[in-house]
A and B are shown apart, each in its own frame.
Chain A
């Protein structure tokens, strides 16, 4: 199935969890994930299953002041 991750179309296995998606993407370190406009708790990453057409945002901290 296809989903959108950080604005890009990506193919993921049917029934994949958010955590599995992050592993597939090679994400290391701590990230926060928003799924269809709802911010997920860290603990939910392993349980929440991604659905066809989901829009996911994966964010992290970067340098910034104001």
Chain B
């Protein structure tokens, strides 16, 4: 039971990577990239989890309560922001690829450049 979060993270990583490798569409590729990145959230959050710990919000719990690690949660927030900007960039590049080459298939783009 206690390895389940890590197994899920590994599964998300592998299945996202598989999607990227076999992708035939740049938008599909961007979505697969977000799947890979979501595995990093899971690793970060589950490595900072403390058994029976509450959320690190001390607004209405006594200050001595055991809480999970706030640092990895802050890092996950950073991760999410970076992911959303990367997705926007990749999608913008996909729009330009469609306009320039008339295709969003990564394989086709490689042939054009060579």
Q: Bound pair: A and B?
A: no
CB within 8 Å of B: which residues of A?
none
CB within 8 Å of A: which residues of B?
none
